[in-house]
Structure 1
Amino acid sequence: MNRILIKNAKIVNEGVIFEGDLLIEDEVIVEISESISAKSSECTIIDAEGNYLIPGAIDDQVHFREPGLTHKGDIESESKAAVAGGITSFIEQPNTVPNAVTQEILEEKYQLAAQKSYANYSFMMGATNDNLDEVLKTNPKNVAGIKIFLGSSTGNMLVDNEATLEKIFSSTDMLIAVHCEDEQTIKDNLEKYKEEYGEDVPVTVHHLIRSAEACYLSSSKAIALAQRTGARLHIFHLSTAREMELFTNKIPLEEKKITAEVCVHHLWFTNEDYATKGNFIKWNPAVKTTEDRDALWQALLDDRIDVIATDHAPHTKEEKKQKYLQAPSGGPLVQHAVVAMFEAYHKGKISIEKIVEKMAHNPAKIFKIEKRGFIKVGYYADLVLINTGMPWGVKPENILAKCGWSPFEGYTFKSRITHTFVNGKLVYNAFKVKDIRAGKRLLFDR
């Protein structure tokens, strides 16, 4: 039996921080107490030395690029980066090659992850304009949800047929997650800037091409459709102040049928950073203005926004160094997302309890993930120890994403993850990922 005793931890769970010990047996947490006694011959003892013990983060939106785009990243490399960053479970998106738009292709991705993943995994079923029959075959017990691109992004899986959208929203009880940007608005904006700049459009206008108006038009339309049909809607990577008026904090999360997510990069960067970061902070939806960022923070803290995720989407340096119009959107974030949020804690912007709520508890609640996202007896031991006083700088040599770069390169974080456990196995410590593929397929209470 695998037995690990973590002693002298500041345990963070459900809005409370308390000092205590935690005992793991095999894959699960079996005891949490002020003090647990055990002999070193009976179990492995890890002294947390007063550091924070948090539930592993659950990233509900990543692009790990396998199959078909593995020159950018793959399940093995990106899940390694995830566990090094304190993310113990991920939900991956369908815009791989081929797109995960049939049950057969979707299941092939699960088989790949079963062999390769260091973290727990699930994959979204992708919707298109003509695969409703396949979408409706999706098993709610072992698939996270349905993903719809209402704006074209990497992979070009745009769904723009109104009748199809109506059928999907009205025909499934599964969670529908959406990328919201209005396609026609973006096309019109792009033509305007092409007329001004020709083929040398600068990245500094990315947020004006993929504009706040494009986001609001699409998000408001998706919400109206969900309200009309009764669909369970989750809106990914919100990026604008105006969209915040579409969401409520007036009811408990468990009662919400429409939920909201923000990504780390929209909380960190603004359009002013394009001048120095260029295409390396080119995302869809775009990083917007300081005012937008401030509004996202406010909505996160007052619970109109429910989840913090990454939209981890690596591309090679060579791809990113192309001219703006050719450079793809997206960047690697899983290794640095948790410590980036702890940086905000150091600045007094957010509490550790709230970080845990938005990165672990709430994704587990929204997707109804079985026995994960909390530090509770009987739950899987997906756990992270983090030292808030161990600075480290992001350098090419310590970046684990296959693409080898990070938008945080050159930044020094104050906090560092020291241990990551996945299903009770210590997969990361001493700043190295162990060769233990401990990830399991996520299951859902539906």
Structure 2
Amino acid sequence: MNRVLIKNAKIVNEGSIFEGDVLIEDDLIVEIAEKISAKSADCKIVDAEGNYLIPGAIDDQVHFREPGLTHKGDIESESRAAVAGGITSFIEQPNTVPNAVTQEILEEKYQIASQNSFANYSFMMGATNDNLDEVLKTNPKNVAGIKIFLGSSTGNMLVDNEAVLERIFSSTPMLIAVHCEDETTIKNNLAQYKEEYGEEVPVTAHHLIRSTEACYLSSSKAIALAKKTGARLHIFHLSTAKEMDLFTNKIPLEDKKITAEVCVHHLWFTNEDYATKGNFIKWNPAVKTATDKEALWKALLDDRIDVIATDHAPHTLEEKQQSYLNAPSGGPLVQHAVVALFEAFHQGKISVEKIVEKMCHNPAKIFKIEKRGFIKEGYYADLVIVNAGLPWSVKKENILAKCGWSPFEGYTFKSRITHTFVNGQLVYNAFKVKDIRAGKRLLFNR
């Protein structure tokens, strides 16, 4: 039996922080108490040394690029980066090659992850204009949800047939997650900038091309459709102040039919950073203004926004160094997301309890993930120790994403992940990922 006793931890769970110990047996948490004695000689003791012990983060939106785009990243490389960053479970998106739009292709991704993933995994089933029959075959017990792109992005899976959209929303009992940007608005904006600049459109125009209006038009339409059909809607990577008016904090999360996510980069960067970061902060939806960023923080803290995720979407350095119009959107974030939020904690913007709520508890609640996202007896031992006073700098040599770069390169974080447990296995320790692929398929209480 695998026995691990974590001692002297500041345990963060369900809005409180308390000092205590946690006993793990095999893949489960079996005891949480103020003091626990090792019950056998074979029990490995890990001294948390008064640092924070948090549930492993659950990233509800990543693009790990396998199959078909593995020159950018793959399940093995990106899940390794994830556990080094304190993310123990991920939900990956369907815009791989081929697109995960049939049950057979979807299952192939699960098979790859079962062999190679360091973290727990689930994969979204992709919707298109013509695959409703396949979508309806999706098993709600072992697939996270249905993903619809209402704006085109990497691996174009745009669903723009309104009759089809209504049929998907009306007939799918599962959670539907959406990327919301209005394609017509973006195309019209791009045409205007091309008229002015030709092929030399600057990256500083990105947030004006993929504009506030493009986001709001699409988000409001998706919400109206969800209200009309009763669909369970989750809106990914919100980026504008205007969209915040579409969401409520008036009801408990468990009762919400429409939930919202924000990504780390929209909480960190603004359009002013395009001048120095260029395409390295080119995402869809775009990083927008300081006013938008401030509104996102406000909505996150007052619970209109429910989840913090990464939208981890690596591209090679060569791809990102192309001109604005040719460089793809997206960037690697899983290794630095948790410590980036701890940076905000140091700045007085957010409490550690709130970080855990938005990165661990709420994704588990929204997706109804079985026995994860909390530090509770009987739950899987996905646990992370964070030393909030151990500075480190992001350098090329310590970036684990396959693409080898980070928008945080050169930044010194005040906090560091020291230990990551996945299903009771210590997969990351002493700033190294061990060769233990401990990830399991996520299951859902539906």
Matches within 5 A, 1:405-416: 405-416=405-416
In 2, the alpha carbon distance for the partners of 1:291 and 1:445 equals 39
SS in 2 for 1:361: helix
Cα-to-partner distance string for 1:204-227 (whole Å, 9 max, x where unaligned): 000000000000000000000000
SS in 1 for 2:7: strand
Q: Name the counterpart of 1:123.
A: 123
Matches within 5 A, 1:12-411: 12-38=12-38, 41-411=41-411
SS in 2 for 1:365: helix
In 1, the alpha carbon distance for the partners of 2:226 and 2:39 equals 55
How many pairs align? 446
1:233 partner amino acid = L
Shift of 1:152: 0.4
1:5 partner amino acid = L
1:127 partner amino acid = A
SS in 1 for 2:244: helix
1:399 partner amino acid = I
In 2, the alpha carbon distance for the partners of 1:39 and 1:244 equals 51
1:109 partner amino acid = K
Aligned-residue identity in percent = 88
In 2, the alpha carbon distance for the partners of 1:342 and 1:430 equals 19
In 2, the alpha carbon distance for the partners of 1:364 and 1:224 equals 25
1:98 partner amino acid = P
In 2, the alpha carbon distance for the partners of 1:342 and 1:320 equals 28
Moved more, 211-220 or 34-43: 34-43
Shift of 1:274: 0.1
Shift of 1:164: 0.3
In 2, the alpha carbon distance for the partners of 1:158 and 1:184 equals 12
Off by >2 Å, runs of 4+ in structure 1: none
Cα-to-partner distance string for 1:290-344 (whole Å, 9 max, x where unaligned): 0000000000000000000000000000000000000000000000000000000
In 1, the alpha carbon distance for the partners of 2:135 and 2:362 equals 25
In 2, the alpha carbon distance for the partners of 1:367 and 1:38 equals 35
Shift of 1:409: 0.2
Q: What is the CA RMSD across the aligned residues, in angstroms?
A: 0.5
In 1, the alpha carbon distance for the partners of 2:383 and 2:121 equals 16
In 2, the alpha carbon distance for the partners of 1:408 and 1:441 equals 30
Shift of 1:40: 6.7
Shift of 1:42: 3.4
In 1, the alpha carbon distance for the partners of 2:96 and 2:382 equals 27
Matches within 5 A, 1:1-12: 1-12=1-12
Shift of 1:41: 1.6
2:386 partner amino acid = I
